Chains A and B, each alone.
Chain A
Amino acid sequence: MVSGAADKLEQELRRGVLVLAVLSQLRTLRYGYELRQSLVERGLSIEEGTLYPLLRRLEAQGVLRSEWRTAEGPPRRYYELSADGAELFEGLTATWRGLNTAMDLLLEGERCDDR
């Protein structure tokens, strides 16, 4: 029961940072598989079934723009931040840093209380 809840909570935590992580890697053009590899290499594993539809949703929301490219092998859809997406990325990054600081303080406080 507790381990099931723990898995769910960890998934929710990861889901919260997913969009920002994806945006951070799309400041340059990347296609889905390449993007996933890039995230995995930096320690953030993400399920394909979550990532690939997310790219389409972000594109539909105007956060990303995409194009098909065939020059470097089979046809692949490449994504990168749109102008609005770049602005959003800046905003989300600032929010993330604020949250990070607050969480550090909270977690640090927790450790001090324990002592």
Chain B
Amino acid sequence: MTADELIDGYVAEVVGLLPRAQRRDVALELRQLLSEEVAAAPDRAEAARALLAGFGRPAEVAARYGTPVTLIDPADTRRFLTLAAGGAGLILFAAVLHELIERAAPQRDLERAGQQALPFVFAWLGLLLAGFAVAAWARRRRPDTGWQPRPVPTDRINRLGRAAGLAFYILGTLVLLDPARVIVPLAGEAAEPALREAFAYDGDFLRVRGPVLLALLVASLVVEAVLVVKGRWFPLLHHVTLGLGLVMCAVLTWVIGAGPVFTAALTDQTAKEIVGLIVLGSLIDLAVRARKHHVRRAVHH
């Protein structure tokens, strides 16, 4: 290729990435400037090749001609990546949970469930990108007035709120031991046989999964009680809570996937869907709490 052909090709690539109104003018100027740079060289083609190699990627040069559009502010990139990866992982896990709930072991196909979740993953990534792009655009139009003070995260807890929560969890655990016993007085004696049938636990569940789950629930209540008594988080308690939370999520997933929990199909399906949502919510809560804990540690040590 001759020097002029090389320069023309390069200029075409640069101006092709510029706004239409700028193209003709920039092409004329850039072509003239590049030609002049190599005019005195003994081998113009070789000189043009070297010059253009050092000039940079056409897209980068085109970006320098204007203010490049930034979809995601560099300052937001880390948060974007965290939310993108976390959200995508959660959607895929939700798809696995859905498959575990909907289909019994022989018909299950977790790979297909993952593939079916991909459109939702891409939708999430698209929404996230759009959200961050709109936020970046709004911030450029109206720059932040500055940092707004917020309370520093501390190890202290709302003792009263936690105690009320603990009472609620204890009550909930007791209800789970025999749901029909709690509902029958509310629904009337006539409904007892139907309710007993609807809320009868599966025999296999009661043999292994039930006791394991109950043991974990009791352990969680004990840890929560320790927290209420102490009135503040401390590292060991935090690690135990996080570990217990993760184990609880794993066990609940196993409970969902290992067979029926209730003998009545409708109750079983509904209960598993609720448990599935609890697992997803717990995973988000664990991630947020772990992050807060690390921030607290970083600030106070």
Interface residues of A (CB under 8 A from B): 31-33, 47-50, 52-54, 56-57, 60, 74-77
Contacts and interface: CB of A to CB of B under 8 A. Distances in A.
Interface string B17-34: 000001001101110111
Closest 5 CB pairs of A and B: A53-B64, A49-B55, A49-B56, A53-B65, A33-B36
A47 B29 contact: no
Contact of B33 (A47, A50, A52, A60): A52
17 contacts: A32-B29, A32-B33, A33-B33, A33-B37, A48-B55, A49-B54, A49-B55, A49-B64, A52-B30, A53-B61, A56-B26, A57-B66, A74-B32, A75-B28, A76-B32, A77-B25, A77-B28
A33 B60 CA distance: 20
Contacts of B37: 33, 48
Contacts of A60: 66
B19 to A, nearest CB: 11
Contact of A75 (B32, B34, B56, B61): B32
Secondary structure at the B interface, as helix, strand, loop or mixed, is helix
Interface residues on chain B, size class: 20 to 34
A56 B33 contact: no
Nearest to A74: B32
A27 to B, nearest CB: 21
B33 A57 contact: no
